[in-house]
Amino acid sequence: GLGDVYKRQLQDTQVVITFYVDLSDATVTIASEENNQEMEERTISFIDSAPEVFNISGYSKGTYIITITTPRGTYLSGLFRIE
């Protein structure tokens, strides 16, 4: 499944996503868990394990949901917290 082929890292003011298989036209959405406000959405292709970096330095304290959706509609989501 998707969870076996990706890594999410939280580094200071960045969320870094790396897929270890090629994945075209995936949509990555970051939203606040508290009010479901969408913070960012990108459609990207992961090729040759190149990481995708999201700058979260402007985000408020709280919990956020990150969701990766494939063109087929399968998705993977997880949480990260800023304290």
| Mean pLDDT of all residues in 57-66 | 92
Whole-number pLDDT of residue 21:
83
Residue showing tokens 């960045």: 14
Q: What share of the chain is helix, strand, coil (3-state, %, to 5)?
A: 5, 60, 35
Name the pLDDT band for 2 (thresholds 50, 70, 90). Answer: low
Whole-number pLDDT of residue 5:
52
Name the pLDDT band for 38 (thresholds 50, 70, 90). Answer: very high
Residue showing tokens 């956020």: 64
Name the pLDDT band for 33 (thresholds 50, 70, 90). Answer: very high
Name the pLDDT band for 72 (thresholds 50, 70, 90). Answer: very high
- C-alpha to C-alpha distances, 31 to 48, 49, 63, nearest whole angstrom: 27, 24, 9
